[in-house]
């Protein structure tokens, strides 16, 4: 007996002796629980992707592409080469790309590649050498008291967006088309 089968199992004449000795069912690997992966999960806006409108998330958001509108999440990282035109609201915000708009965050870090045009409201602000910042900075102790990333009301159907063929998001309401040809 080899692997629980009699040697030379003659059930298939084309099967070699080595194949006959192999177990018939391979064990399947255990899948990790969904709850174990959730804390480390982050939404990502890839390079070449443009989002137009309001982007609200509960966890971490990594921006490599472009956002035109408001970005709100608990932890936001805007990487070198990324571009955000609009307001950014977060608990922890790291900027390595370009932001044009108002920033509200408990902790803000401008990396050496950051370009920020607008006002920053913060509890803690760190600016690395070579970062460019044009605007005003104001410390506000009440920023941590708000629940950033939590929606207070349901999103109306007119604000739901979809991805069109040009990899740009637009509203599902035809009267409120967010995509303009030539963008």
pLDDT at 158 > cutoff 90: no
Q: Is 144 left (phi over 0), alpha (psi -120 to 50) or beta?
A: alpha
Check if the beta carbon of residue 164 is closer than 8 Å to that of residue 126. Answer: no
Flag whether 4 is in a domain. no
Q: What is the CA 63 to chain-centroid distance, rounded?
A: 6
The total number of residues shown for the chain amounts to: 183
Flag whether 17 is in a domain. no
Chain segment 126-144, per-residue pLDDT in tens: 999 999 999 999 998 876 5
Flag whether 65 is in a domain. yes
Find all residues with CB under 8 Å of 4, minimum gap 6, and list them.
23
How many Å apart are CA 118 and CA 115, to the nearest integer? Answer: 10
Q: How many domains does the chain have?
A: 1
Flag whether 13 is in a domain. no
Flag whether 15 is in a domain. no
Flag whether 12 is in a domain. no
pLDDT at 16 > cutoff 90: no
What per-residue confidence (pLDDT) applies to 164?
A: 46
pLDDT at 15 > cutoff 60: no
pLDDT class of 41 with cuts at 50, 70, 90: confident
Tell me the residue range of the domain where 83 lies: 40-144+153-171
Chain segment 52-108, per-residue pLDDT in tens: 999 998 899 999 999 999 999 999 999 999 999 999 999 999 999 999 999 999 999
Predicted TM-score of the model (pTM) = 0.61
Flag whether 176 is in a domain. no
> In the chain, what percentage of residues exceed pLDDT 70?
56
Give just the sign of the alpha carbon dihedral 103, 105, 109, 111.
Answer: negative
Flag whether 180 is in a domain. no
């Amino acid at each position: 007996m080899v692997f629980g089968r009699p040697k030379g199992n003659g059930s298939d004449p084309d099967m070699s002796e080595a194949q006959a000795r192999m177990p018939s069912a391979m064990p399947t690997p255990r899948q990790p629980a969904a709850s174990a992966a959730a804390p480390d999960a982050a939404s990502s806006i890839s390079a070449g992707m443009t989002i137009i409108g309001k982007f609200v998330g509960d966890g971490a958001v990594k921006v490599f592409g472009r956002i035109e509108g408001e970005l709100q999440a608990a932890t936001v990282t805007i990487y070198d080469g990324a571009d955000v035109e609009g307001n950014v609201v977060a608990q922890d915000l790291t900027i390595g790309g370009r932001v044009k708009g108002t920033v509200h965050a408990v902790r803000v870090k401008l990396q050496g590649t950051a370009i920020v045009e607008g006002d920053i409201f913060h509890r803690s602000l760190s600016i690395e050498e070579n970062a460019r910042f044009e605007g005003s900075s104001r410390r506000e102790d009440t920023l941590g008291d708000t629940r950033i990333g939590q929606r207070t009301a349901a999103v109306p159907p007119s604000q739901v967006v979809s991805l069109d063929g040009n990899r740009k998001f637009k509203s599902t309401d035809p009267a409120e088309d967010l995509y303009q040809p030539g963008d």
